Structure 1
């Protein structure tokens, strides 16, 4: 029999369908023969991936033959699911529907679970519709919970939603890896609106797109569709970037609906121990770390007692939110009532209170999104001041286990960042001072060497030749503005260079000086360019129409470059200093 199997295996590897047909016509019993590891010809054909050979073999085998398992318990269908061969799976299931329920010996996975673990989306969709619900219930083992977990991590939210609608208990059951649905969601910030920052035009499109996610029936298994099936005829999805925003919003809505179903099932958790067993506490701290505002809010609304949970360092949710600099989650503290205000005075295992947490250096992942060390230390100061405004007065002078008050703790942890901020400010101011000084020199000289020179006549001696021209007036005005604004810029940047660089200076004083200096420098560059254009047109009055367009286009280049390269920094400094607060002090009662 081993010799026979070797011959057939070679034919399978070569894809020789005709030889296999002829061989099995003469020896039909060989179709169910197994090698020492328990593999049949069908197993081998599936592993190799020859669809036509698999279809031919399935046609020759009985329903019972298709249930043959190799040593580890894998049927041919299981191997097809593990490799994502949907057509093979379909032809086998059409002949024997029981195959979807046959699990392996060691792990106990059924085919749909194996396909989800390996990430074969289309195979999962097909096998899910063919798998009976009773095979996925918690009473039958971990298959349902594992399928749910991998569908969530693979963003197959339509399947996950349908499964939870039909079997809500899976929301709080651990899968084979020891994870729960809410814990997996807590590590996926990108599937929630809070974890998907959009630029202004994307936010506008996002708000205008209407998305209706498919909701499964509670009783009838649905035919799972691709997200765009039935929508591709809409012209809006053909616009560049629109399809991605549509997909993003669809995922957000499905994730929020999934979270809602999970929170609804959490009401059945009767004790803190059950909540821990379902990893709800770990999920909350993970969500705080990743800034998933929606998950933290919805879970604590479903079970307000979870507000009191602490991590291994005895930190509560709000202390962690401060440590990880998650302002949206921290702002929930403004919605607390008197019964839970003790959370504001809580201490961790090192006797650090909330203000000590704010005094620690923010994670690099949060600081990296802020331009320049000066703005980073400003953001750190804003956090410290905000937390200082809500803690009791005694907390401001309370020492931790190391004998440090919050202010001392802040100075200790931010010493290097302050030095970097000082260096960044000085280097920026020095570079801008050189540019401003050049402009001052040029515009001062231009004021006394005007275009066309001066008249030499007795009555008009010393007066500019183009004194009566409108373009000359424009030249003089632009020259004066450029000279004065660059002078202001120099003085402001000198003020930055001679500042004492105390911590408090980075909060308002230094950023304000930088705003004034950069704005003055921009005005001086723009007016200098206009003065140059006006002088050039004055010197060639007869050819102004030929010269105007190319000169105007070239003159716009330096202004445009400044806007592209420096305006984002200027805008960020202005918004960070004088824009709306990153904290929502108007947060109302939310639980």
Structure 2
């Protein structure tokens, strides 16, 4: 009994912590919503089509697809499997709606159902098939979740190519009522986004290449002005035998080489032709390599500075340690400002495909 009250007191204490109460409330709302959904699905099985329409069931189903409410969609399909055959007011089937709103999980879920390939044969009231829908620009609320116009363009290309790989061959060349193929629709609807992506890429590459160029200049000069000077007779550095001096040389060389690679990558971005295909792999990969090598270059530059400081001050750690800690600030700032972007680009470029195997079934 005491243990129970002790745990209860601990629970109450945890709920007072910042953020814990909000998480608890959200989890409670979710649990209660699932219970309400179960009760609703039990009632749905007793309704006929007319009663379902009057009860706004079908409208709720399409809104659930639009908002990515996978649990609602799965539960409803378990209760009424025939719901998957519904079409919206614009004659778009459930698969098209999931594509239109870029709901990845729901689209994958529909593609795991029986007879899903047959739904690719449908067209909407404008003559658009599934690939036409994939070629249209994603809703703003989906694009807003992705940083930068270039990554948004990349994501749109990933969707288009993924759908292109699974639709029947005729869909790829089919024309809608305006005489446009899916590729035409994609180019037309993403024209402005491609321009914004080009601008974003060039701005990122320009600012980063300036930093890389400065590092190259500094590191190139540092290798010829080594701490301790040179032996006038042999020309070799006086401190060549010291470990700290070797650290200085190696880190200087690494910083110089990585900065050079970084600048070359950013130069490749600036001189790119910026075709649609470039946003798919080429430009993101160059940006990943450029930012990665720039980070290594900045880090090794700070190591070079620190090792030179240790050589010159010769054991005066009361001065060396604070300065080294200050030298770590640029690395920390770069990590804070650019590393999240680097991670996002990496995940966006090398993530698995849109279609993922789902274990959820309604049969």
TM-score (norm 1): 0.59
Per the alignment, residue 379 of structure 1 pairs with 155
Q: Residue 75 of structure 2 contacts residue 362 of structure 2 at CA under 8 Å; is this kept in 1?
A: no
**Which of 239, 260, 263 is residue 487 of structure 1 equivalent to?**
260
Partner SS for 1:268: coil
CA distance in 2, matches of 1:396, 1:274: 39
1:53-97: CA deviation from partner (whole Å, max 9, x where unpaired): xxxxxxxxxxxxxxxxxxxxxxxxxxxxxxxxxxxxxxxxxxxxx
Q: CA deviation at 1:548?
A: 2.7
Per the alignment, residue 193 of structure 1 pairs with none
Aligned length: 356
Q: Does 1:323 align with 2:323?
A: no
Per the alignment, residue 242 of structure 1 pairs with 20
Q: Does 1:563 align with 2:307?
A: no
Q: Residue 362 of structure 1 contacts residue 380 of structure 1 at CA under 8 Å; is this kept in 2?
A: yes
Structure 1 residues 260 and 344, CA, compared in 2 at 3 Å: closer, same or farther? same
What is the correspondence of 1:454-469 to structure 2 with a 5 Å cutoff?
454-456=230-232, 458=233, 461-469=234-242
Per the alignment, residue 307 of structure 2 pairs with 534
Q: Which runs of 5+ in 1 are unaligned?
A: 1-229
CA distance in 1, matches of 2:162, 2:35: 33
CA distance in 1, matches of 2:8, 2:34: 22
Partner SS for 1:448: coil
Q: CA deviation at 1:563?
A: 0.5
1:191-236: CA deviation from partner (whole Å, max 9, x where unpaired): xxxxxxxxxxxxxxxxxxxxxxxxxxxxxxxxxxxxxxx9565243
Per the alignment, residue 501 of structure 1 pairs with 274
**Which of 294, 298, 311 is residue 88 of structure 2 equivalent to?**
311
Per the alignment, residue 53 of structure 2 pairs with 276
Q: CA deviation at 1:364?
A: 1.0
Per the alignment, residue 514 of structure 1 pairs with 287
Structure 1 residues 582 and 396, CA, compared in 2 at 3 Å: closer, same or farther? closer
Q: CA deviation at 1:239?
A: 3.5
Per the alignment, residue 411 of structure 1 pairs with 187
What is the correspondence of 1:398-437 to structure 2 with a 5 Å cutoff?
398-437=174-213
**Which of 51, 62, 65 is residue 285 of structure 1 equivalent to?**
62
1:295-353: CA deviation from partner (whole Å, max 9, x where unpaired): 11111121011111111111112211111111111111221213x53222211100111
**Which of 220, 231, 236 is residue 444 of structure 1 equivalent to?**
220
**Which of 39, 43, 49 is residue 265 of structure 1 equivalent to?**
43
Q: Residue 77 of structure 2 contacts residue 362 of structure 2 at CA under 8 Å; is this kept in 1?
A: no
Q: Residue 331 of structure 1 contacts residue 587 of structure 1 at CA under 8 Å; is this kept in 2?
A: no
In our comparison, the structure showing a higher alpha carbon Rg is 1
Partner SS for 2:45: helix
Q: CA deviation at 1:238?
A: 3.6
Q: Residue 467 of structure 1 contacts residue 473 of structure 1 at CA under 8 Å; is this kept in 2?
A: yes
Q: Residue 337 of structure 1 contacts residue 589 of structure 1 at CA under 8 Å; is this kept in 2?
A: no
Q: Residue 74 of structure 2 contacts residue 361 of structure 2 at CA under 8 Å; is this kept in 1?
A: no
User: What RMSD in Å do the two structures reach over aligned CA positions?
Assistant: 1.6
Q: Does 1:396 align with 2:166?
A: no
Structure 1 residues 231 and 311, CA, compared in 2 at 3 Å: closer, same or farther? farther
1:259-308: CA deviation from partner (whole Å, max 9, x where unpaired): 111001101002x2111011011001111111111111111121011111
What is the correspondence of 1:468-479 to structure 2 with a 5 Å cutoff?
468-479=241-252
Partner SS for 2:223: helix
Q: CA deviation at 1:581?
A: 3.4
What is the correspondence of 1:152-191 to structure 2 with a 5 Å cutoff?
none
Q: Residue 300 of structure 1 contacts residue 307 of structure 1 at CA under 8 Å; is this kept in 2?
A: yes
CA distance in 2, matches of 1:576, 1:255: 32
Q: Residue 108 of structure 2 contacts residue 354 of structure 2 at CA under 8 Å; is this kept in 1?
A: no
TM-score (norm 2): 0.94
Per the alignment, residue 345 of structure 2 pairs with 573
Q: CA deviation at 1:570?
A: 0.3
Q: CA deviation at 1:589?
A: 4.0
CA distance in 2, matches of 1:537, 1:233: 51
1:91-133: CA deviation from partner (whole Å, max 9, x where unpaired): xxxxxxxxxxxxxxxxxxxxxxxxxxxxxxxxxxxxxxxxxxx
Per the alignment, residue 453 of structure 1 pairs with 229
Per the alignment, residue 296 of structure 1 pairs with 73
Structure 1 residues 399 and 553, CA, compared in 2 at 3 Å: closer, same or farther? same
Q: CA deviation at 1:424?
A: 1.0
CA distance in 1, matches of 2:359, 2:193: 31
Q: Residue 334 of structure 1 contacts residue 588 of structure 1 at CA under 8 Å; is this kept in 2?
A: no
Partner SS for 1:314: coil
